[in-house]
Structure 1
Amino acid sequence: MSEDAGSRAVIAAVVPGQSPRVVQEAARYAALSGVPLLVVHVDTTRFVSFEDPDGYVHSATVDVAGAAARAALADVEAASARALSGSDAAWSVRQLIGDPALAIIDLAEKVDASLLVVGTRKRGLGESIREFLTGSVAARLTHRQHRPVLVVPLGETVPPDEELVWE
């Protein structure tokens, strides 16, 4: 793991327990491009209350989930270390706060990211309802900023004869 360099970095947005494919694909693109990899996890239990001119972000908590946020970050760091052992990419982990798509877009602007990498959601009724209500982070990223977005399929794919939940 290296320090966050940031210039033209590849950003991999991950959640705890996610398949290592997202981080591995992002690392492959970062290594091929000769840029650093920023693995990011977004803590949705906190939100930005204001940001100082020097860049310090003041946050407020939606609930008392500080320990859960630290545990999620530790999980993401450990999973990234396992997934990237032997990788040629220089990488680091950051935790962002707030709305996932907006937080990733903000970081991408700050580091002039060259590529954003996200995974698909797990299949299931609960995840489908959550995506219907909150929207797909991948779709929001593709519609709200100008950088390329790589969506890595995770888990089982939908068989050709099975309808998607929203169809």
Structure 2
Amino acid sequence: MTMRSVVVGVDHRQPDLPRRAAALVQSLGGSLVELVCLWVDETAVTEPTGFAVSVDPDIVMSDDQYAADVLEGLNRSMADVGLPWSAVRGAGDPARELARVADEVGAAMIVIGARRAGLRGWAQSMVGGTVAGHLIHDQRRPVVVLPEHPRDDEEESA
């Protein structure tokens, strides 16, 4: 059997999202699945050479603390999920990066978290649309949006 991939959008505001995505995949019987956890630095752009650089000159992409913190959080969260996983860093538009990585790995689906609640989340979705909205209109593969706050019975099984 071949290993299938599921791309998971990582959001520091929902640190348990990759773990919840793993629980979803396992509940669907997906033991031969690798989770590809992608976090996207929206303040960065990708040069034609493929190297990502920050638009903020004070941030060095290769060794910034944000990336180290995200990877450390993923390592803690995913330590005992029972599925293989990897971490990938993207730059720029989250929807475009999720689609790009999903294409690269031949992902069976993309899993993301629901948009941010509150006025700021609403304002962002009104100005630029949501990541989910962009993905569902441009994707050939399923896009699963996990709610920010899981039901109580889901928390017990995770």
- Length-normalised TM-score, structure 1: 0.76
Deviation at 1:33, TM superposition (A): 4.3
Moved more, 123-132 or 66-75: 66-75
Match of 2:39 in 1: 41
Root-mean-square deviation (CA, aligned residues, Å) is 2.4
- Of residues 130, 143, 148, the one that matches 1:149 is 143
SS class of match (1:118): strand
Deviation at 1:126, TM superposition (A): 1.4
Matches within 5 A, 1:42-57: 42-51=40-49, 57=50
Aligned residues: 145
Match of 1:27 in 2: 22
In structure 2, how many angstroms separate the alpha carbons of the residues matched to 1:132 and 1:45?
20
- Of residues 60, 70, 80, the one that matches 1:76 is 70
Query: Residues 117, 61 of structure 1: CA spacing in aligned structure 2 closer, same or farther, 3 A cutoff?
Result: same
Contact 1:37 1:91 in 2 (8 A): yes
- Length-normalised TM-score, structure 2: 0.80
Deviation at 1:83, TM superposition (A): 2.1
Matches within 5 A, 1:82-97: 82-97=76-91
Query: Residues 16, 65 of structure 1: CA spacing in aligned structure 2 closer, same or farther, 3 A cutoff?
Result: farther
In structure 1, how many angstroms separate the alpha carbons of the residues matched to 2:51 and 2:69?
24
Deviation at 1:67, TM superposition (A): 4.9
Deviation at 1:156, TM superposition (A): 8.4
Contact 1:16 1:75 in 2 (8 A): no
